Amino acid sequence: MNHSSRSRAARGWVQQVEGESTRRVRDVLTVEEPMEIRLVFHQMAEPVPISVTMRTPGNDFDLAAGFLVTEGILDSKDSIQSITYCRDPETDGAQRYNIVNVKLRPGVSVELERLRRNFYTSSSCGVCGKASLEAIEVRGVKPVRGDFTLPASLIPRLGEALRREQEIFEKTGGLHAAGWFDTAGNLIALREDVGRHNAVDKLIGHLFLNDGLPLTEGILMVSGRTSFEIMQKAAVAGIPVVTAVSAPSSLACEVARKFGITLIGFARGERFNIYAGGKRVRTGE
């Protein structure tokens, strides 16, 4: 059970100000809680903590799988024997749903020392852009292979479909979304989270657990801006086209060019900008 039914929205009181008048009203807030990801090895007695992320509850197993894939820890869904919440009776009942154990099959191993180095020197710790790009290459990530093309007229439909399906965002205004579309523009899957990178991990994790990687035949759309982290995850997953409602960062554009990803930003209404990989977009049709 992925426990997707856990509440992702909560009610609270706010003071609403309009002009010189104020009133106290009930509001809907996005839920944010920590989630710890642990790896469970057959040859080790205790689970190994890997990461703690602040996330919106729901699709937690997808999030754990997606994180492990996009961080280069796992590359095959066959490495995973099971994904469960913590079953330790000493753990408080409510907190069990904030700890996810990923049990690996016998014989599967990961380089734990490299893992520790990775998480102490994350991309947000001030390393330069060139080093960040080289770190992706060192992990063996190759340019994406998706060679399909899409008409420019398809892009506005993606944003419309994403917004229609953002159930919790409509209530709270506080969630990011990531959607996976097929090459005809049909929405295949959508995930939401308070963190834009978590939304992408949830989506990639879902697709990884069901279909495996790479994801060369489809389009990723995100509801906010496109950061280096999102493009890194797209490159690892082999995603050929990334579209966003807002602007990309300079380093996101560099990742797109380096790994052959079509990057589209400011996709609002009928207008959008192509920052890299324009050969996949057919204009004038």
Is 125 among the catalytic positions? yes
Q: What is the DSSP letter of 282?
A: E
Q: For residue 62, report the phi and psi dihedrals to the nearest 5 degrees.
A: -60, -45
Contact 193, 176 (CB under 8 A): yes
Query: What is the spatial order of strands in the sheet that 176-181 belongs to?
Result: 187-193, 176-181, 219-222, 241-244, 262-268, 271-276
Given the residues 86, 125, 128, 253, the one annotated as active site:
125
Q: Which two tokens stand for residue 158?
A: 């993606």
Terminal-to-terminal C-alpha distance of the chain: 45
Contact 202, 210 (CB under 8 A): no
Q: What is the DSSP letter of 280?
A: G
Q: Which of 109, 93, 61 is nearest to 208 (CA)?
A: 61
Instruction: Give the containing element (helix H, strand E) for 216.
Output: none
Q: What angle do helix axes 129-138 and 228-237 make, rounded to 10 degrees?
A: 20
Catalytic positions: 125
